[in-house]
Amino acid sequence: MTEQAVGDPAASGAWDEGDPLGNRRFADAGDLRLESGTTLPGVRVAYETWGTLAPDASNAVLVLHALTGDSHVAGPAGPGHPTPGWWDELVGPGRAIDTDRYFVVAPNVLGGCQGTTGPSSRAPDGRRWAGRFPRITVRDQVAAEALLADVLRVDTWAAVVGGSMGGMRALEWAVTHPDRVSGLLLAATCAAASAEQIGLCSAQAHAVRADARFRGGDYYDAGPGGGPSAGLGVARRIAHLSYRSEPELQARFGRLPQDGEDPAAGGRFAVESYLDHQAAKLVRRFDANSYIVLSEAMNTHDVGRGRGGIPAALARVSAETVVVGIDSDRLYPLWQQQELATAIPRSGEVRVVNSPYGHDGFLIETAAVAKQLAELLRD
């Protein structure tokens, strides 16, 4: 089923005031001075929690989501949460991050679209930030999360955990605030965005901006079908190809036609239908401006910037660290995790997960990731 066949999506999939709260909570973090020198006023961070914070706040675990994730790391879909928890098998009573022991915090990232200040939020003038939202960096995102930690009165995280973009932020936490991170799990991530990663993110941002309905980012009042869903869908197709492995795609789809369609007569191949489906799902739950803002923030990621280079920056990490890589990951290849494990003082060898699923393996191979979390969170 094509995305057009299921009806026109709203101009934006962002959470908005008046929508169901779900399990969201909000923290007013105040004004945030960005790396660019701009001050972002009145920052609000949306987050979810599980478990109970110990009296001495020693059991807090910070879980950080990837590009199109959100604060809903665990729990079913429902009002306010269009999808189930993205790591639901790992967070909960008796699970790898045991909420009977730990107080788990999962924030929506700065620049996101699920309650934290981002392009779809209202600026002080009452209008949406839209295309006016300032450029932000991964360090800015961590600065906002540090303000959240202050609001929650968490001085030191028992562990900070993240994969992909979440791994970038987890690493930046450990480099910027080494005294506030006791344990660290980095999955399918890197010390600095590579040329290919920057190029892929840039191509996706161009795809969104090339949609005539993008309107420089000012599309929120356009109504159903009036937003840049076509451009965002193209961006998602590009991204999703990089998230999976070539052998998996070949094994699943090969040159098979979509059921009931003939590619020689204008129909689709099965893999095209698959990508159409992935695109349609995203445009109904995400915001095009946030996609650009977050993609460009990922491109800024370089823990060595202004710190004497990557090895010097990684030497600042004092947390016990577990680095996880996926053997079939062509977006964040194993050499990037090896760079982390080699230079971080309290890290052993890269824990390699064998998976056919490529970069998405850190989300899919939950049993393997659970094993590494158990090692990190052992008593």
> Tens digits of per-residue pLDDT, 265-307?
999 999 999 999 999 999 999 999 999 999 999 999 999 999 9
Answer whether residue 190 shows pLDDT above 80. yes
Active-site entry in 120, 121, 164, 355:
164
Active-site entry in 65, 290, 359, 360:
359
Please give the share of the chain, as a percent, with pLDDT higher than 70: 98
SS (H, E, C) the chain: CCCHHHCCCCCCCCCCCCCCCCCCEEEEEEEEECCCCCEEEEEEEEEEEECCCCCCCCCEEEEECCCCCCCCCCCCCECCECCCCCCCCCEECCCCEECCCCEEEEECCCCCCCCCCCCCCECCCCCECHHHCCCCCHHHHHHHHHHHHHHHCCCCECEEEEECHHHHHHHHHHHHCHHHECEEEEECCCCECCHHHHHHHHHHHHHHHCCHHHHHHCCCCCCCCCCCHHHHHHHHHHHHHHHCCHHHHHHHCCCCECCCCCHHHCCCEHHHHHHHHHHHHHHCCCCHHHHHHHHHHHHCCECCCCCCCHHHHHCCCCCEEEEEEECCCCCCCHHHHHHHHHHCCCECCCEEECCCCHHHHHHHCHHHHHHHHHHHCCC
> Quick one: pLDDT band at residue 378, thresholds 50, 70, 90?
confident
Query: What mean pLDDT, rounded, does the chain reach?
Result: 96
State the Cα–Cα distance between residues 324 and 369, nearest whole angstrom: 8
The values of phi and psi at residue 324, to 5°, are -115, 130
> What mean pLDDT do residues 105-122 have?
98
Answer whether residue 371 shows pLDDT above 70. yes
Q: How far apart are the first and last CA of the chain?
A: 49
Active-site entry in 211, 329, 347, 360:
329
Q: What is the pLDDT of residue 379?
A: 65
> What mean pLDDT do residues 238-266 have?
98
> Tens digits of per-residue pLDDT, 322-333?
999 999 999 999
> What mean pLDDT do residues 19-43 have?
97
- Does the active-site annotation cover 359? yes
Among 96, 87, 89, which Cα is nearest to 48's? 87
Answer whether residue 218 shows pLDDT above 50. yes
- Does the active-site annotation cover 206? no
Among 240, 325, 324, which Cα is nearest to 277's? 240
Domains and CATH numbers, the chain: 25-194+301-376 (3.40.50.1820), 198-297 (1.10.1740.110)
Nearest 10 degrees: CA dihedral of 38, 39, 44, 49?
A: 70
- Does the active-site annotation cover 379? no
> Tens digits of per-residue pLDDT, 67-95?
999 999 999 999 999 999 999 999 999 99
Cβ-based neighbours of 165, under 8 Å, separated by 6 or more: 64, 65, 66, 67, 109, 138, 189, 294, 298
